[in-house]
Amino acid sequence: MSNLPHEPEFEQAYKELASTLENSTLFQKNPEYRKALAVVSVPERVIQFRVVWEDDKGHVQVNRGYRVQFNSALGPYKGGLRFHPTVNLSILKFLGFEQIFKNALTGLNMGGGKGGSDFDPKGKSDSEIRRFCVSFMTELSRHIGADTDVPAGDIGVTGREVGFLFGQYRKMRNSWEGVLTGKGGTWGGSLIRPEATGYGVVYYVDHMIKHVSGGQQSFLGKRVAVSGSGNVAQYAALKVIELGGTVVSLSDSQGSLITIGDTGFTPAEINTIADLKVERKQLSSIVSSPEFVNKFRYIPNARPWTHVGKVDVALPSATQNEVSGEEAQVLIDNGCKFIAEGSNMGCTQEAIDVFEAHREANPGTAAIWYAPGKAANAGGVAVSGLEMAQNSARINWSAQEVDSRLKGIMDSCFKNGLDTAREYATPKEGILPSLVTGSNIAGFTKVAAAMKDHGDWW
């Protein structure tokens, strides 16, 4: 019996990758890659530490802090910090494992890592959050650096937290360096970084739509269901609206906000929700306000997928495992043709199996086409990589320059996954290639080849 602890989220991520490699011709053509899979699935380093801080009442509090430095074959470890009470080693290992291959798909020189704490910023004062961040970074600072490990934000870590963390790092190391991304625009941050993940997933899906339609369709006129209401969901929704689509849902941990009839969210309404989330309030607090009461219905304790009716596109953008097998089938029954993960591992394995089975059984225009998060939501870490490049050169690019580079990276992610799927998992005539298989193999082989060159396996 294995002496390893049960880590369900990490095991799910590993099995999802391994199964797609097994079901392709990769190991037939390159049997030595089995050894690489065994090596890459073990983190290079796992750091765990206590975080002691004082609340506003003068009481001492203690939390657990983590950093999983998973793989540095392609560059410094790169991946976010998550502050949320659900954080544990299994979740961070799953996120770090996914990050390895996501970062590889961007084409930038970044390894994979993830970290965070079970600290909950909700309900805490700015002073309490600052004291926690100071204590957290005091320990983490000895393990990171611009050429070693470059964290970013994630759930619960906004620009405020990044500022507190960066300030403590600078004091501890007496050094100004691009050790964190998602920084403020006046002190090393990149334009388009807050928008990047949401924009990127929309750019990716736009390529999917154009491929299936032979360039005849876009987001124009499409009904789009979005989950979540944080940065990813907000900016994905705004970009969909800009491209002519109709956004019919947003959600948070307490429930879903669904539009009534054929109308969709407006940019002003999304900005109102963005302000609400800055204040760490729930969607339920605005459903009875004059601008929302007659246009939306609020469904408590529910995700949007079974309530949105007919949709063309689904963008899960909240958290992991937010689309079940049953919900996947409802989306298909309601005419959904494209689903792409704005969140990491947004779909359960059961949901992925439903989507992939439908794709394999139906010709292109009749099938639903699924894009995994490691490809579809790579825009966030891509612009983090661009922020690292700007910091290294001590320059700032314009928003147009960064957005143009983001579009190019998402185009490359899509084409790389598509071409790799055709090579290693050739579909039947008229059937769309598997983007999950193609993206997994493309990311894995790039990392495995670098590791072999380094002597990590042979």
Which residue numbers are catalytic? 114
CB of 117 within 8 A of CB of 135?
Answer: no
**Can you tell me the distance from the alpha carbon of 272 to that of 290, in angstroms, rounded to the nearest whole number?**
13
For residue 279 the two structure tokens come to: 């204040």
231 marked among binding-site residues: yes
102 annotated to bind ligand: yes
Q: Is 153 annotated as a binding residue?
A: yes
Helix (H, G, I), strand (E, B) or coil at 276: helix
Q: Are strands 313-315 and 296-300 parallel, antiparallel or unpaired?
A: unpaired
Report whether 99 belongs to an annotated binding site. yes
Single out the residue of 150, 79, 166, 165 nearest to residue 119, CA to CA: 165
Q: Are 295 and 263 in contact (CB under 8 A)?
A: yes
CA distance 403 to 58: 46
Q: Which residues of 88-98 are buried (b: 16+ CB within 10 A; e: fewer)?
A: ebbbbbbbbbb
For residue 294, give both structure tokens.
Answer: 């007659």
Selection from 273, 254, 275, 277 nearest residue 265 by Cα: 273
How far out from the chain centre does Cα 32 lie? 30
d(CA 36, CA 52): 39
Grouping H, G, I as helix, E, B as strand and the rest as coil, residue 150 is strand
Report the DSSP beta bridge partners of residue 116: 66, 82
> 377 labelled as ligand-binding?
no
Is 197 annotated as belonging to a binding site? Answer: yes
Pairing of strands 255-259, 296-300: antiparallel
- Among 43, 448, 112, 69, which residue's Cα sits nearest to residue 456? 448
Which residues are 412's β-sheet partners? none
Name the packing angle between helices 89-106 and 435-454 (round to 10°): 90
> Is residue 71 part of an annotated ligand binding site?
no
How far is Cα 61 from Cα 54, in angstroms, rounded to an integer? 6
d(CA 453, CA 458): 9
Q: CA 278 to CA 264: how far, in whole Å?
A: 22
Q: Which residues contribute to the annotated binding site?
A: 78, 99, 102, 153, 197, 231, 384
Q: Which residues contribute to the annotated binding site for NAD(+)?
A: 197, 231
Q: Which residues contribute to the annotated binding site for substrate?
A: 78, 99, 102, 153, 384
